[in-house]
Amino acid sequence: MMTWPEGRMEFVCTEPAEEGKREERWLGEVKVRSYGPGMAELIIYGRDSCINAVIGKYMSGQYICMPDIDTGCPLSRLSDLFWNKERLSANMNETDAVTVAHALRALSGYTGKDWL
């Protein structure tokens, strides 16, 4: 049984710098709104965005769905920043993809689990 956090969890997002520029950093927050066996509903805040998301399990692994922006994709381990960011950025802007990937890693760190 997974233990989910109560309230908001803060995390720091980082985006590697392009050549000649500095690394970007910003604060993000994630709140678990509801959860059940193999799923959780999240609200993710960062850089002037508020993203409603559902993460869950399906026969091929894990997924994320963000109905308000008509997008979703499979996920790797929750802590896998690179893979999750790459998949997310194909369907949303880079800043929001980085924020969501860091939120998933923060959840993994809190729960001690990489899989739902």
Give how many domains the chain has, as a whole number.
Answer: 1
Say what the pLDDT of residue 18 is.
76
Residue 5 lies in a domain: no
CA distance 53 to 13: 18
CA distance 67 to 88: 14
Tokens at residue 89, please? 């950025």
Domain limits for position 104: 26-111
Confidence (pTM) = 0.93
Give the CA distances from residue 104 to residues 40, 63, 114, in Å, rounded to whole numbers and listed in that order: 11, 11, 9
Residue 66 lies in a domain: yes
Q: Which residues of 14-35 are buried (b: 16+ CB within 10 A; e: fewer)?
A: ebeeeeeeeeeeeebbbebeeb
Per-residue pLDDT tens digits of the chain, which is 116 residues long: 567 777 789 999 998 877 778 889 999 999 999 998 899 999 999 999 999 999 999 999 999 999 999 999 999 999 999 999 999 999 999 999 999 999 999 999 988 899 98
